[in-house]
Structure 1
Amino acid sequence: MEPILWEWINTVARWLHVITAVAWIGSSFYFIHLDASLKRREGAPPGTAGDAWQIHGGGFYHMTKYMVVPPHMPDDLTWFKWESYATWMSGFFLMVVLYYRGADLFLIDQDVMALAPWQAVGLSAGLLLLGWKAYDSLCKSPLGRNDVALALTGFVLLVATAWAMTRIYSGRGAMLQMGALMGTMMAANVFMLIIPNQRKTVAALMRGEAADPALGKQAKQRSLHNNYLTLPVIFLMISNHYPLVTSTRYNWVIVALVLVVGAAIRHFFNSQHAGKPSPWWTWGVAVAGMLAAVWLSGFGPADRTRLGALPTPVTVAQVEEIVQTRCSMCHAETPVWDGIASAPRGVALDSPAAIRRHAEQIRVQAGLSRAMPPANITGMTPDERAVLAAWSGDTAR
């Protein structure tokens, strides 16, 4: 009964996380678009920054942005905060359920760094807090007055952190840690600065005082950071399903490329929403960045040489021996590995026919990357991975 319960907890946690993330990202993208599309018009109410007319669902909407308290303060004021809070809480809960609870399989790779589960979990949680504090301090430093310099410094620090994570955790764990770190920075921006600054601004305006313009400037800067980080965070959170992203030699460089690609795409849409000339060059950057990521993923795992080093053609018999030795204890109709009740994803590799049938999956998961076995718990060697990497579809048939 316990495995069934944990499976459902995992499923519902994922579901909740996706729902809340959609709500947060949707509202964030909408307000970035709305703010950029506002236009000043003659006869607009005093104290407004502009308005926009929109149509949706058969109705017309007239959106007006007030920079000061409107003539009649509404009794009900909607604060957009719970979407971000719920996204982070559900995401952290999912991280606990899957990655912290299964740290020995999903977070740790003993060939990368010999860690006990409690050490890996403690380090992960501590890095989330330390990462936020470092980012927050950077924004509040003199460097924070220059948006371009701050962005470049932040980019370098994130890439350096990604490199460091790949020297501590498994590839999958490192990518998830980076996604969680950036997600934490985004949610903390809302909880620790954007909402508090908005409350201070509203309170000052309600007292008839002039609001401190620095509060709005700080909140807008953090909101813009969240906007540009959104696409990379989504990519990193789903990357654990794609071994050529997470578990290859230059996975940390792929993180750097994804940061650039995500920022380029958001810059295009932000410019369009603001009515500026469309920066079509951003799509060239995005395509070039993704092609570079595809190329880098072909270098295979870090613990073996480039493809093509094998002196003789790979035979099916070699592959079957490796799979039976390293994979079939889990990938079997009746797994013998403790805690695994059925073959992961229904993939049984306990017969020659089954191994041939799943040739491409084996090659990608265990030859071209280190995704399998998880945490390399069965001790697959670099030479064995090279054999699987060189195993072509033609050989499989």
Structure 2
Amino acid sequence: MPKVSHRSETVPLSPFRKLIPIADKAKAAGRHVYHLNIGQPDIKTHPRAVEQFRKIDWDVLEYSPSNGFASYREALTDYYARFDVPLVADNIMVTTGGSEAILFFMLSCLDPGDEVIVPEPFYANYNGYAHIADVRVVAITSHIEDGFSLPSPEAFANKITSRTRAIMITSPNNPTGACYSDEEMASLAEIVKEHDLFLCADEVYREFAYDQPIRSVLQIPGLEEHAIIIDSVSKRYSATGARVGALVCRNPQILAAVDRFAKLRLSPPGLGQMLSECMLQDDRAYLDGVKEDYQARRDTVYRRLQSMPGVFSYEPGGAFYCFARFPIADSEDFCRWLLEDFEHEGATVMLSPGPGFYATPGLGRNECRIAYVLNVDDLEKAMDCLELALQVYPGKTELVVDALSSGRA
């Protein structure tokens, strides 16, 4: 029998999807599973997209240009102008979701064996894309005790080697919900200019910054040749199935390199672009309502976590995730146990184990990511399950973790 590739056998597993078969068994056995493991919101998709979809009258669903429909890219320039990011349409490469934009960044800006520095914990699929591109992720650890703030400039400088080509950040952050300050972004800008690096910022949660707006990397003077944005409509408009993202920058060499890869896959989704373009129209009232909803969900989850003995969390500033530390020895075992052996009133809760969001072995073993993507009533019930589960979990530890006593994990 022919053997599959070593690459396929060693690609990292998704920490938020690998327990799905166990969750499916729990549901088949009659239990309700509150899915807080993945960023699939229950928020209704922007109604303009639904209306437009119902009106479609196409005879042929044809290819779009490799860089995306011109009308959509022009509409995106108006969108970015709201955030004081002046662009022209040719600065925008439409992609098949934000995922393809990340892969295009790695393939275009780094050669095999090159290094990209990423603050951990980070979006777990970065590891997978780096694996495909044969790029080495160099992790720089941020800490829950500091609210997962950006590590110091000195810490970044200590990670830079002759193979370093880029720094990659996410703000607002998945999985932590941290939002980096203007001062943090300015210090990072100085590092990339001093060492002539690319700075790639995943800004897909831009609208969901609850305490203060984030500063885009394309707003920072002097980064015209360095800065790249990863963007997507998936979470902004609750349209994860549209599969439309973008890579945005002002460096013509990067855009030309990305275009070569884009032409190989021919076209980003034409139907998704059409729906995404219509969602940009009159979207502010929709986004304001969604942001208010997510903020209420954040407040619910944070309040409940704060009341659970032995649990340490912090108030996330953005996105719709919270990363918490629990009085458990092994979060992988805990998340599996929740699905296999625990139920409360016919239900259980599904979380994402912490280690999958770290590159450094051993970190995250007593941490989990919670995606607050359900309505407040369901979140309350999910938190009831979690609180009761922690009381009876056989792998519970006696260590009470707080900001003063936990130390660095």
Structure with higher strand content: 2
Normalising by structure 1, we get a TM-score of 0.23
Task: Answer with 1 or 2: which has the greater Rg.
Answer: 1
- What TM-score results when the alignment is normalised by the length of structure 2? 0.22
